[in-house]
Amino acid sequence: MNHGIVSISNGQLALSLVLVLITGLVSAFLRLGLLKSLVWGTVRAFVQLTLIGYVLAYIFQLNSLPVIIPIILLMSFIAAREASRRVNEPTQKPLLVSFIALTASTFLVGLIVVGLIIGPEPWYSARVMIPIFGMILGNSMNGISLALDRMYGEVRAHVAEVEELLCFGASPWEAVRGLVRKAVSSGMTPTINSLMVVGLVSLPGMMTGQILAGADPREAVRYQIVVMVMVAAAVAVGCLLIVGLSYRKMFTKDLALTGDMRRSIG
């Protein structure tokens, strides 16, 4: 078996544009109106990934903790902004709580994985920390946005039930506790579904990348197991934090639902 990296030349990379052409033909044939977005997205992806490749090579060479931490915080902010934009609640401002939830869950789980499980030398190795924290953020971003959107949706759909509980003396948390459970469950479901089928239906990206780079499949599997449970833990913590930090904003100082929350979606 050849354990070297199978390199992709510039010509082979250009040949991959044939796949974009196939996607564009499908869009044009069905008149989906996605051709412009597809081309622009492909150009952006090419430029962004090319640039990040050079940036990461430089950062890996520096391998300095004062450089790594700000980069991870910037990644957290970008992920929080994207997660908050997906929440269909224009009257709410979830950017700050999204950033807190993502940053806290990422650093909690990421430091455990990097410092205790993988244990690189030095422990803050940029080559390990940045990819690991990036995987956590990418998955947690989707989880917390689902949880936050589901929480607002559930409360709006059960306004009468929540207000009845408040009238009987329940605290805001007691009034929405059951709905919050559904929200957290919604945010965690995609990750749990991935755990169920990994290895049977799909070979995840990290495992595939290591195998293509020449790693022993058995070693690649070990890393993938760590990644999967790492993501599940981060998503769980992130979802719990985001709903815990956000639910109180649905209530006034008098412990009643805000006027905006009482408006039905329909």
State the pLDDT at residue 2.
Answer: 46
One-letter amino acid at 262 equals R
Higher pLDDT, 3 or 173: 173
- Which residue is it, tokens 């607002």? 152
Structure confidence by residue, pLDDT tens digits, 78-102 = 999 888 887 766 555 678 888 999 9
DSSP summary character for residue 214: T
> What gap in Å lies between CA 158 and CA 42, rounded to an integer?
42
Task: Please check whether residue 120 is in contact with residue 130, taking contact to mean a CB–CB distance below 8 angstroms.
Answer: no
> What gap in Å lies between CA 68 and CA 89, rounded to an integer?
33
One-letter amino acid at 98 equals S
Q: How many residues does the chain have?
A: 266
State the pLDDT at residue 265.
Answer: 45
Taking alpha carbons only, the member of 97, 210, 111 closest to residue 145 is: 97
Within a 10 A sphere around the Cβ of 29, how many other Cβ atoms?
A: 8
- Residue 251, helix vs strand vs coil: strand
202 beta partners: 198
Structure confidence by residue, pLDDT tens digits, 30-61 = 887 888 888 888 899 889 889 989 999 999 99
> What gap in Å lies between CA 233 and CA 108, rounded to an integer?
10
203 beta partners: none
State the pLDDT at residue 47.
Answer: 92
